[in-house]
Amino acid sequence: MAWALLLFSLLSQGTGSWAQSALTQPSSVSGALGQTVTISCAGSSNDIGRYNDVSWYQQRSGTTPKLLIYNVNTRPSGIPDRFSGSKSGNTALLIISRLQPEDEADYHCFSYAGSSTSHSGASSWGSFCVMVVMSQPPSASASLGSSAKLACTLSSEHSTFYIHWYQQKAGKAPQYVKKVNSDGSHGKGDGISNRFLGSSSGADRYLTISKLHPEDEA
């Protein structure tokens, strides 16, 4: 029996960071068990066509997104070789071969498009790290108007890597918030407030949200 792979809107980057511009993609893709499906992510010459910083995430119901592919076609450790990525012109592709029941999920595509700036604070936050994470608290809480500091600790062999922070509200696709480099420098997604600051210390990457607002809960 065929089953559907449901897809959310894809995200690309605008002038200066990772923007919330929608990339063109099919609303869903379906395939029978054992078959191969291809999910396309169409961008422009300003994002996918220009940069190789394209990544794909799998998100099963009730879970946080899982990194499948980065830098167009590189798989992190532990990802089966059934998942592969490619790029042609302004379009990126995710190919899933030998479909299995557990492949049923939402798939998100992200593309870098330059470097720019700028969101809000929260009582509780959920987040995930892009690279190999050694440890990260599942949530953090703070009072409205105060500050919250989220930490992401990378494993020693990845301590010089940068990470991306995302915010995901209930029923919504992840929104790019900030990139934090090993030297503490950072860039923000379009529409992200200056209240969101990134910093780094050793293998730790931080996201600090000041003056927390109710809408920051995610």
Residues 103 and 8 in one domain: yes
Residues 102 and 193 in one domain: no
How many domains does the chain contain in total?
2
Residues 19 and 94 in one domain: yes
**How many angstroms separate the CA atoms of 110 and 43, rounded?**
10
pLDDT in tens, the chain (218 residues): 222 222 222 222 222 333 334 455 556 677 777 888 888 888 888 778 888 888 888 888 777 788 899 889 999 889 999 999 999 998 899 999 988 888 888 888 888 766 432 222 222 233 333 333 444 555 677 778 888 888 888 777 677 777 778 777 777 767 778 778 888 777 777 778 888 888 888 888 888 888 888 877 77
- Strands 175-180 and 186-188, sheet pairing: antiparallel
Task: Select from 83, 106, 123 the least CA-distant residue to 216.
Answer: 123
Domain end call among 53, 85, 111: 111
Q: What is the domain range of residue 200?
A: 124-216
**How many angstroms separate the CA atoms of 182 and 152, rounded?**
12
What's residue 209's pLDDT?
86
What's residue 155's pLDDT?
73
Q: Give backbone dihedrals phi and psi of 158, rounded to 5 degrees, phi first.
A: -120, 20
Domain end call among 111, 133, 152: 111
Distance of CA 199 to the CA centre of its chain: 18
- Strands 133-135 and 3-6, sheet pairing: unpaired
pTM assigned to the model: 0.57
